[in-house]
């Protein structure tokens, strides 16, 4: 199946003297994390299906600096940012899509002041646009009628007020969209943000991801949909800890791709 994936790089586009429609910013999780790589591939399949002329930076991509900035290391963040901006500007990138809300937030909000001004979209927003433009069709397939809840990633939701695009996509799957006690602007963090992903939690009486998983379990979903590779990991771990591995934690791109057997 992998041979069917078309993943051109910016360098290849440049060599042909062409510009892609959009740059797909894969992100570190999407590039290296085994679970997140599946999300990356699912999204690429959808891009291929919709005949989107996209490109990736490939080996020229580097961490946006988000975890460094949240941890307080402004130096490291800006070093990363300036390096990435140089690459992006050299390729004259105008539009970026990413499946990681942290990359999304950083490039969209924090790069402009350092000279990187782009139109940045989260992959759920981009997929929604493809749908609206008739370039992508979404079928319910095996998700028809399933109880699906959406876990709002903090850096997509509260941080950038994107609540509807992911939900509209779930509705298009003809699934039953159900909401947790804390959703949208009141969404509860998965516990990974602010560089917590890379450290043990401070002493307490519970892990944040367990708290959030319990909120999800309260409404008895069949699937927990996520829009962030880190949330995905945290919620998957939560379901494991609760021995509820029958409840799948899936990225919205994966749901759409799977529904069409891509």
Q: Which 112-131 positions form the footprint of other proteins (CB under 8 A)?
A: 113-114
* Contact criterion met (CB below 8 Å) for 8 and 208: no
What pairs with residue 97 in β-bridges?
24, 121
Q: How far apart are CA 123 and CA 227, in angstroms?
A: 8
Give the x/- contact pattern for other proteins in 41-60, rule: CB under 8 A.
x--------------x-xx-
The residue with tokens 């942290």 is 102
Residue 58 CB, nearest approach to other proteins (Å)? 4
Residue 86 CB, nearest approach to other proteins (Å)? 8
Burial class (CB in 10 A: 0-12, 13-18, 19+), 185: exposed
* Residues numbered 220-259 forming contacts with other proteins, rule: CB under 8 A: none
Cβ closest to other proteins, residue 93 vs residue 175: 93
* Residues numbered 187-206 forming contacts with other proteins, rule: CB under 8 A: 188-189, 191-206
Q: Binding-site residue total for other proteins (CB under 8 A)?
A: 72
Report helix angle 252-259 to 123-132, nearest 10: 40
Give the x/- contact pattern for other proteins in 17-46, rule: CB under 8 A.
---------x-x-xxxx---x--xx-----
Residue 103 CB, nearest approach to other proteins (Å)? 11
Q: How far apart are CA 107 and CA 262, in angstroms?
A: 30
């Amino acid at each position: 199946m992998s041979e069917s994936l078309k993943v051109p790089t910016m360098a290849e586009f440049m060599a042909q003297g062409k510009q892609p429609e959009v740059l797909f910013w894969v992100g570190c999780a999407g590039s290296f994390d085994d679970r997140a790589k599946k999300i990356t591939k699912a999204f690429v399949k959808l891009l291929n299906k919709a005949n989107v002329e996209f490109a990736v930076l490939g080996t020229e991509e580097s961490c946006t600096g988000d975890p460094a900035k949240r941890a307080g290391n402004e130096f490291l963040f800006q070093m990363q940012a300036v390096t990435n901006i140089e690459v992006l500007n050299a390729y004259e990138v105008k539009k970026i899509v990413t499946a990681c809300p942290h990359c999304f937030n950083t490039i969209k909000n924090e790069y402009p002041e350092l000279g990187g001004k782009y139109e940045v979209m989260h992959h759920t927003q981009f997929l929604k646009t493809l749908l609206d433009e008739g370039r992508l069709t979404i079928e319910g397939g095996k998700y028809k009628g399933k109880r699906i809840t959406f876990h709002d990633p903090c850096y997509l939701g509260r941080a950038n007020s994107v609540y509807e695009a992911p939900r509209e996509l779930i509705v298009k799957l003809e699934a039953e969209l159900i909401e947790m006690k804390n959703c949208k602007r009141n969404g509860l963090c998965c516990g990974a943000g602010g560089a917590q992903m890379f450290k043990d939690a401070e002493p307490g009486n519970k892990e944040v991801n367990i708290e959030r998983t319990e909120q999800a379990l309260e409404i008895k979903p069949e699937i927990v949909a996520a829009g962030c590779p880190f949330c995905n990991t945290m919620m998957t771990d939560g379901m494991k800890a609760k021995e509820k591995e029958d409840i799948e934690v899936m990225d919205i791109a994966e749901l759409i791709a799977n529904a069409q057997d891509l």
